[in-house]
Amino acid sequence: MTRTDGTAIKIALVGVGKIARDQHIPALAASDAFELAATVSRTGGIRGVENYKTVEALLAARPDISAISFCTPPQVRYAGARAALDADRHVMLEKPPGASLSEVHALETLAQDKGVALFATWHSRHAASVPAAKAWLSDKAIISVRIDWKEDVRVWHPGQKWIWEAGGLGIFDPTINAFSILTEILPVEVHVTGADLRFPSNCETPVAGEIRMDDPSGPLVTAEVDFLWEGDPLWRQIIETDGGTLALNQGGAVMEIDGQKQHGEAWENPAIHGEYDGLYARFAELLDTNTSEVDLRPMVLVADAFTLAKRFDAPEFVDPSLMEDSHAG
Ligand code: NAP
């Protein structure tokens, strides 16, 4: 997407970890709307891009950078995002947008007061078949929803200790992607009624569980989630309606109706495809109109699951990549 006045917006990335390297940096390189002008990284950032150790140092040195995209873990995002908004910069937040709902409400209020844009992103909503699924469901009566969100944390999040610390969400780090799609495509509102969550004895966040939701007419959604699922990940929602059964597979990439593929391509490597191009295109649109977009419904479902959950013990979780590190050290 090219901006109407032809100039690229200077943007900084905060936190150069897995998602910054895998998705944000390539998406920014492909975008005409943005120019990656600096990073904030404790560990050096990216070769050839100016780096600052703290958000405050960046804000002081680079008044020309008008947008800041945060890719840090949710537990450490608030202070930097607040400082950026306070300094009149537009802010984009990775999912989940913060460690708590109240934190994000506070950022939303600050963005409004300062007259800048806050974009709480949900990358899975930009998966290829999500708009088609939303359109197909819009005139259907929903009978049931079955979500399976199962992946191997040792493959997809090696060494990420923050996931297992309070605020890191554990299995809800990926499951919130399922809930972001669910709240986007369903023509009815749902609310959590109960959950069973399994917590490893050495972790502060859950590794697996089941979450149940109702719509106003009764039970509707069952989600089974598992962070120790071996083999190909299962990122699937099956929605039974009065007009047929819709299956959204590969995290929203592929849509089937009654077993027939309708839309999207199955990827050999079932990672994220094209979603971050969509996110940055949307951020550019929001900046053109100086508008915020903060939809907290996926985060409300996760918070309610924690509130209502029965807690069960699970075996200790050992991250093999950290064991290798400690042996190497
Ligand atoms: P990560 O690999 O652990 O990277 C996070 C980066 O944040 C670190 O590399 C570090 O970068 C910086 N950081 C600053 N303070 C930190 C602290 N106290 N602890 C750890 N890192 C700190 O995590 P990630 O997978 O990129 O995830 C970051 C966010 O993106 C999360 O909210 C996650 O849910 C979201 N996300 C991840 C994925 C994925 O597949 N991994 C997909 C979509 C969204 P510096 O060394 O540069 O300071």
Domains of the chain with CATH codes: 9-123+275-294 (3.40.50.720), 128-269+303-314 (3.30.360.10)
The dihedral formed by the CA atoms of 142, 218, 121 and 79, expressed in degrees to the nearest 10: 180
Q: Residue 49 and residue 37: Cα distance in Å, rounded? A: 7
Total-model pTM: 0.95
The C-alpha atoms of residue 195 and residue 224 are separated, in whole angstroms, by: 10
Ligand 1 pocket member 95 (CB < 6 A): yes
Just list the catalytic residues: 95
Nearest Cα residue to atom 43 of ligand 1: 19
Q: Kindly give the distance from the C-alpha atom of residue 162 to the centroid of ligand 1, in angstroms, as a whole number.
A: 9
pLDDT band at 1 (very low <50, low <70, confident <90, very high): very low
Out of 13, 14, 16, 19, mutate this one to test ligand 1's pocket (max ligand atoms within 8 Å of CB): namely 19
67 touches 36 (CB < 8 A): no
From ligand 1's centre to the CA of 92, what distance in Å? 14
Mean pLDDT of the chain: 94
Q: What is the largest CA-CA distance in the chain?
A: 59
Q: What is the pLDDT of residue 231?
A: 87
Is the shortest distance between the CB of 73 and ligand 1 below 6 Å?
yes
Query: Of 147-156, 289-298, 320-329, where does mean pLDDT reach its minimum?
Result: 320-329
Between 90-99, 250-259, 271-280, 306-315, the lowest mean confidence (pLDDT) is in 271-280
Identify residue 309 by its one-letter amino acid code: A
How many Å from the N-terminal Cα to the C-terminal Cα in the chain? Answer: 46
| 259-263, 273-277, 286-290: segment of lowest average pLDDT | 259-263
Predicted pLDDT of residue 182: 98
| Segment 57-63 long-range contacts (CB within 8 Å, at least 24 positions apart) | 58/12, 58/14, 59/83, 59/84, 59/87, 59/89, 62/10, 62/12, 62/37, 62/38
Between the CA of 4 and the centroid of ligand 1 the distance, in Å, is 33
How many Å separate Cα 114 from the centre of its chain?
Answer: 25
Q: What mean pLDDT comes out for the span 101-129?
A: 98
Indicate whether residue 52 lines ligand 1 (CB < 6 A): no
162 lines ligand 1 (CB under 6 A): yes
Closest ligand 1 atom to Cα of 96: 32
Percent of the chain with pLDDT over 90: 90
For ligand 1, whether the C-beta of 76 sits within 6 Å is yes
Pocket test of ligand 1: the residue of 71, 95, 276, 325 to mutate, having most ligand atoms within 8 Å of its CB, is 71
pLDDT at residue number 322: 78
User: Sheet of 142-150: strands edge to edge?
Assistant: 260-263, 254-257, 244-249, 234-241, 142-150, 218-226, 208-215, 191-200, 309-314
